[in-house]
Amino acid sequence: MRIGFDNEQYKKTQSEHIKERIGLFGNKLYLEFGGKLFDDYHSSRVLPGFEPDSKLKMLDQLKDQLEIVIVISADDIENNKIRGDHGITYDNDVLRLIDAFQGRGFMVGSVVITQYTGENAATRFRQKLESLHIKTYLHYTIDGYPHNVSHIVSDEGYGKNEYVETTRPLVVVTAPGPGSGKMSTCLSQLYHDHQRGIEAGYAKFETFPIWNLPLRHPVNIAYEAATADLDDVNMIDPFHLEAYGKPTVNYNRDIEIFPVLNAIFELIVGKNPYKSPTDMGVNMAGNCIIDDAVCQEAARQEIIRRYYTALLDFKRGRGTKEIVYKLELLMKQAGVTVEHRKVIKPALDRELETGHPAAAIELHDGRIITGKTSDLLGCSAAVILNAIKELGGIDHDMHLVSPEAIEPIQTLKTKYLKGKNPRLHSDEILIALSVSAAHNEHAKCALEQLSKLRHCQLHSSVILSSVDEKIFKKLGIHVTCEPKYETDRMYQSH
């Protein structure tokens, strides 16, 4: 895989920059952390070389100075809001995050339930957290938020919120997803600290958009594609341009809220230390790009993938046509079409040739390998087998798993488990391959090639099963598929 991003430089320069910002505010900083602290696969796709847990590794260098506060909205708890990438509710994700952070040795100081108005589900969740010995605080809805600034910065506004007790210089405020109330929590803490005579500051960490890349840079357009359902739009920061005469990139919500934020800062501490939304940020990712061409191409592929995801969501009834249209526009802005994704045409051509679903994968050296549906294997299983044969220099006519070994698995699926599809999914063929590897050197060699599929591109001519989708994700393969099912049945189990 070609690398476009220096991960080691990022961890070093980013942690140093955060230390500098802590020092500007009397050794107390509330850092609003946007995006994902770990499992950041979007960043790793558009910035090749960025590791999914880079932010946590960066914070490892500040571990003794920081504590984490997790924020969740009472409304999200009440409505059982689902985190799409993991398929779990936000309240369960809070528990997952606590386990993950503590497992890495980070201090999780507390959980804040925001926008609380007495919701029963939120109350029960607080009780559950307290039974697990996790400190929990309530922040309330504030009439007129965010525009009635004089009311917000008063005893009846932030003053009503419970004060979150923190003990370390850096307080990282994170959440399961957007709209949880991270910024409001930080500002509420500034208000309470100021009332107690404690000097403290606020900063924001957002990887995207990258402020020192051009507005229409593919990496920044890929961020808009990733947040198409949120109506985020990248913009030149007018406040930064006016203050410094230099164009920088931010996004609409931070720019729109900055005048309000400025007024809140002035009421809390007398003046705003920042002249622009860009000033509030601490992101150094743009300084760690070492091959811009590689990152641009990776971002273009991400934009196309997001377009196919939107088509798929619409097909499944989870998205809207408007999101599809927005992504079509973003593709035009990035100067890409679906033809730029090299695996699409071979997959569709193989389906046309065989009359059955097919898939194609692009290896890192540019070779494209296809797989077709057969009586024994689905196209996902076939393309994995064909790809690792190619990588291992194994004859494609050789059976790594004999038909005699596959047939008992098919019998199990259809006769005993009452399945209707006898063909093996990708997980089943990999298990069969691993069994064969115990006594077959070619199967062992093929199995050893699996790690080489990470970051490869794949396209399927039909919607993948959930099983195949999960296997490709675990293998680190970047997938798109046509928005059509293999059959015309009304009910699809996905």
Average pLDDT over residues 452-462: 97
Q: Give a yes or no: residue 205 inside a domain.
A: yes
Q: Which of 85-94, 172-181, 333-342 has the lowest mean pLDDT?
A: 85-94
Tell me, what DSSP letter sits at residue 163? P
- As beta bridge partners, residue 236 has 249
With H, G, I as helix, E, B as strand and everything else as coil, classify residue 54: helix
Same domain for 369 and 271?
no
What six digits make up the tokens of 72? 């969740």
Q: What are the two backbone dihedrals, phi and then psi, of residue 160, each rounded to the nearest 5 degrees?
A: -75, -25
Dist. CA 74–CA 68, nearest whole Å: 19
Q: Give a yes or no: residue 488 inside a domain.
A: no
Handedness of CA 382, 398, 436, 454 (dihedral sign): negative
Would you say residue 230 has pLDDT above 90? no
In percent, the amount of the chain with pLDDT more than 70 equals 98
CATH number (domain holding residue 408): 3.40.140.40
Would you say residue 397 has pLDDT above 80? yes
Decide if 29 contacts 171 (C-beta within 8 A).
Answer: yes
pLDDT at 490: 46
Dist. CA 212–CA 282, nearest whole Å: 12
Same domain for 375 and 454?
yes
Decide if 210 contacts 287 (C-beta within 8 A).
Answer: no
Q: Which domain holds residue 80?
A: 7-288
Pairing mode, strands 88-89 and 457-460: unpaired
Average pLDDT over residues 227-250: 94
Q: Give a yes or no: residue 328 inside a domain.
A: no
Final residue belonging to a domain, choices 269, 288, 307: 288
Would you say residue 283 has pLDDT above 50? yes
Same domain for 179 and 47?
yes
Average pLDDT over residues 24-48: 92
Same domain for 366 and 267?
no
CA-wise closest residue to 50 among 235, 221, 208:
208
How would you classify residue 266: left for phi > 0, otherwise alpha for psi between -120 and 50, otherwise beta?
Answer: alpha
pLDDT in tens, 126-152: 999 999 999 999 999 999 998 899 999
CATH number (domain holding residue 165): 3.10.630.10
Dist. CA 290–CA 129, nearest whole Å: 44
Q: In the predicted model, what is the mean pLDDT of the chain?
A: 94
Same domain for 242 and 387?
no
Would you say residue 424 has pLDDT above 50? yes
Measure the N-to-C terminal CA separation of the chain; round to a whole number of Å. Answer: 31
Same domain for 265 and 356?
no
Compare 417 and 54 and report the one with higher pLDDT.
Answer: 54
Final residue belonging to a domain, choices 245, 273, 288: 288
Q: Give a yes or no: residue 427 inside a domain.
A: yes
User: In 122-197, where do the E strands start and end?
Assistant: 136-140, 170-174
Same domain for 184 and 92?
yes
Same domain for 375 and 456?
yes
Same domain for 184 and 80?
yes
List Cα–Cα distances, 132 to 97, 389, 441, 457, in angstroms.
14, 50, 50, 43
Q: Give a yes or no: residue 433 inside a domain.
A: yes
Decide if 112 contacts 139 (C-beta within 8 A).
Answer: yes
Q: Give a yes or no: residue 36 inside a domain.
A: yes
Same domain for 360 and 270?
no
Q: Give a yes or no: residue 96 inside a domain.
A: yes
Q: What is the pTM of this model?
A: 0.91
Q: What are the two backbone dihedrals, phi and then psi, of residue 274, each rounded to the nearest 5 degrees?
A: -110, 140
Would you say residue 379 has pLDDT above 90? yes
Would you say residue 223 has pLDDT above 60? yes
For the chain, the residue count is 494
Q: Give a yes or no: residue 449 inside a domain.
A: yes
Same domain for 280 and 386?
no
Dist. CA 353–CA 356, nearest whole Å: 8
The DSSP line for 395-458 is: -TTS-SS-HHHHHHHHHIIIIIS--S--SBPHHHHHHHHHHHTTT-HHHHHHHTTGGGGTT-EE
Domain total for the chain?
2
Dist. CA 174–CA 111, nearest whole Å: 10
Decide if 108 contacts 173 (C-beta within 8 A).
Answer: no
pLDDT at 82: 84
Same domain for 270 and 392?
no
Q: Which of 202-211, 223-232, 470-479 has the lowest mean pLDDT?
A: 223-232
